[in-house]
Each structure stands twice: as structure tokens, then as C-alpha cells.
Amino acid sequence: MKVTIIGTGYVGLVTGACLAEIGNDVFCLDVDPRKIDILNSGGVPIHEPGLQEIIARTRAAGRITFSTDVEASVRHGDIQFIAVGTPPDEDGSADLQYVLEAARNIGRHMDGFKVIVDKSTVPVGTAARVREVVGEQLSARGLAGSLQHAFSIVSNPEFLKEGAAVDDFMRPDRIVIGSDDDVPGEKARELMKRLYAPFNRNHERTMYMDVRSAEFTKYAANAMLATRISFMNEMANLAERVGADIDAVRRGIGSDPRIGYHFLYAGVGYGGSCFPKDVQALIRTGSESGHNLRILEAVEAVNHEQKAVLVRKITQTLGDDLTGRTFAVWGLAFKPNTDDMREASSRRLIAALLARGATVRAYDPVAVDEARRVLAIDLHDVPEHLKRLQFVGTQDEALTGADALVIVTEWKEFKSPDFVHLKAALKSPLIFDGRNLYEPDAMTELGIDYHSIGRPYVAATELTTDGARRA
């Protein structure tokens, strides 16, 4: 099938590459010439495991094209995926300017039946706005009568986890299709059914529903996952006060099949391109509809506070003035297996340490370049802070001579370090772990002063020479 993908960001590029991988003829459009140049030269502008290999294969086979030619993109695809960004506006609502401009371009150039698919995460009611914008362009061309039934708007939200997006797309747990019940909608459903048939051969994964329900499903899913994260972070903060171990609690409640284990890990808050903006957008939708979403307001507030939890632990241990202190920071991306720095907890942590006079040596396996870019923006008003921020090429470089290690992202390479070497490299054996990678008792037995999230703290000095706790 001939498919056009509008936008070569995270969702668009993964969608286009995976659809090309299964045999479709895919045209990827982006108005940013830099991105298209990177893709046409064999590179990939984002880090996602497996994606570059798929793009290389499908380019060699002639099944994927990258271009800035808008007219050619509209003429190519019977199915037009809109996969552009929907960043948060100042009031928290989703900014739809790029979605609507994509719709205008389709209306300006379409000359036959098109299925226009909202793949971007958009608020309830966006499909109606897209339909209106396309219709306006057809009217301006004098084609409103002849082409009024020549398109249908479909909502097909993505459910991709950064770092595992290729696998999520190729082995989906569900495919949500929202369409109208009219004749163009039925035709659109048939085309979408053909497109996704390879993913349904062993098990039917497609759920058909009305457009507004499909739009709402994406927001509700992300809001639920964000709620679980903030709930566990609230429980972790209380567990520290009452002497409980949040990891034991997680195992205890996760064994209940009604709850399950997913998204029950305490940490330093959620970030990325989806949860923060989608929670805000859903709160805004509720407000505009006269219904305050109090649970989600609390979810957002808890997440904001949780991003400061490591700074609080550091200042409680070392004092508020950190002048002359050096901190090794392991992990910059908001999660492992990505270079995405959007709403990453490391940004707030690093800014807070620098504001208190500290020097930061930061390491991440893939996100250093992106971190350098976004932190330069974050700190542009305080250039003296940037002078105390160093990016290094290995985790050992970050450690040497640092007063403490701070872990922000749970990359695999951080999970089993050489603790003897780590302890020797640091000025003092002090770790602040925002992802609970290590066992507290094991750390204290090694003589490491270890602070984690939601678990009892035992200082190394509270152990006897044989590793037992002092009475």
C-alpha cells in the first residue's frame, strides 16, 4: 500500500520505517531540511534501538523515501498519517498548529480519496477540526462538491514506549482505530484493516470505535500510567518516614493480579515527550469541559515535587551550600535506551546543584549531545553555572575525585559496577540513587553511604567491623 507519513519525529519515523519493513511503499515528509538530509545520508536523528537498521534495509529496497516535497507527499499516499508534534501551549493545552497545517496541505493538494490519520496525540475533537480545515481548502479550490466525500478522518493513536518502540509497533498489544460510520468512514476502515492485517494474523489486536473515543483512549492510557508512577512515589516518600521498604511493598501489591507490577517503581518522577504534556492536556480538556480532574492535578503536583527529591537528600546530607563540591551524575535521558531529554529529571537536578555552587560531571551512554544542547538553553541566563558543568565520555571519568555519585537514569551499564573501584574513585563513598539500583544492606557492608528512594537508610558508620548493624 502507498502510505505517507507527515513528520519524521519519534512517532512518524518509527511508524514509517515499520510500515515499510512489512512491505508498504512509504513516503516520509518533513519540513525540516536538516532532518531529511540526515535520513538521506544514512543517519537517524533520534536514538531508538533497531530503527537505523530497519531504515537502512527499507531504503536499500526502495520502500521508503524521505523528502521535503509537500505536494509529492500528498499525491503519494492513499493513507496520510499526520505524525507531527503537539507540544504543550502556555496554558497546558496541546498546540495543534502543526497538525492543522498538515491538514491544510493535504486539502491544498489532494486529488482523490484520502484516509487522513491522526497519529499524533491530540485532544478529543481534533478530528473534527482537521475535517473542517481540509474542507476549507477544498472549498478554496472550488472542489467542495466533487471531493466532499473524498476523504475520511481516522484516529489511530500510538502506544510506543521510547527505547522499545520498534518492538511495540511490530508486536502491538492493541491497535486502536477510530472512524466514522458514514460511507467514507467504512472505506477508511477497510483500508486501515488492510494496512494492519500483518499485525493481526495470529491474534486480532484491532479495536474499532468512534473517533472521539479513540482520541480519548490515548490520553486516558498515559494518564493512568502517570498516576501509577506518582502514586508509588507518594508511597515511597511515606515509606521513608515510617521505616518501610517500598521495594517490598511493590512486590506485595504487585502480586495482586488486579494491580500488577508495571509502572510501580519509585524514582525521581516521570518525564519524556508523552506523560507530562498529556496529563497537562487532559487536565486542560477537563477544565474547558467544566470538570476539574483532581486526581490528575495531584499526579502532576506529585511528579513536580518528586523531581527535587534527590536535591533534598543531598542538601540534608551535605548542607545547602555545595560550593567546592563535585558530583558525578550517571544518566541524563529521561529513561534508558533513548536520548530524549524532554522533561528529564536530570535537568532540574543539575540546575539545582549548579545553583548551589557545585560542579557537575555528567555521563550518559547516548544522551550527552542532546543534554549539552538542552542544558545550554536551560542555563543560558546564568552562564557562570555552565562553566561548572562538564560532560564526560565514560562513567569512570565522572567518578574520579567526585564528592558523591548521583544516579538519575537506570541504564543497564550502571546496574553492576565495580564497587571497590567506585569507592576508591570517589573522594567519599557516597551514593544518591534515584532509581534504587542497588541493595542498601550490600552498600553499607561495602562501606558506602547509600541513599535511595523509599527504603530504610543505614549509614556505613552504623555498621560494626563485621558488617552487622550496631545495637
Binding residues for substrate: 159-162, 218, 263-267, 271, 335
The set of residues, in sequence order, having a beta carbon less than 8 Å from that of 306 and lying 6+ positions away, is: 230, 233, 237, 267, 268, 269, 345
Contacts of 461 (CB under 8 A, 6+ apart): 449
Residue 470 per-residue DSSP state: P
Q: Residue 111 corresponds to which amino acid?
A: D
Binding residues: 30, 35, 86, 121, 159-162, 218, 263-267, 271, 277, 335, 342
Nearest to 245 by CA among 266, 270, 261: 266
Residue 274 annotated as catalytic: yes
Torsion of the alpha carbons at 14, 19, 21 and 24, rounded to the nearest 10 = -150
Of residues 274, 352, 371, 425, which has the active-site annotation?
A: 274
Contact 5, 12 (CB under 8 A): yes
Cell numbers placing 425: 574513585
User: Distance (Å, rounded) from C-alpha 318 to C-alpha 329?
Assistant: 16
Q: Which residues are annotated as a binding site for NAD(+)?
A: 30, 35, 86, 121, 162, 277, 342
Residue ranges in 359-459 assigned as alpha helix (H): 368-378, 383-386, 395-399, 419-425, 440-445
Burial 230-256 (b: 16+ CB within 10 A, else e): bbbbbbbbebbeeebbbbebbeeeeee
Distances (CA, A) of 180 to 151, 351, 449: 11, 48, 60
Q: Are 10 and 273 in contact (CB under 8 A)?
A: yes
DSSP state of 94: B
**Strand partners of residue 327:** 360, 404
Helix pair 97-109, 126-140: axis angle to 10 deg: 40
- Catalytically active residues are 274
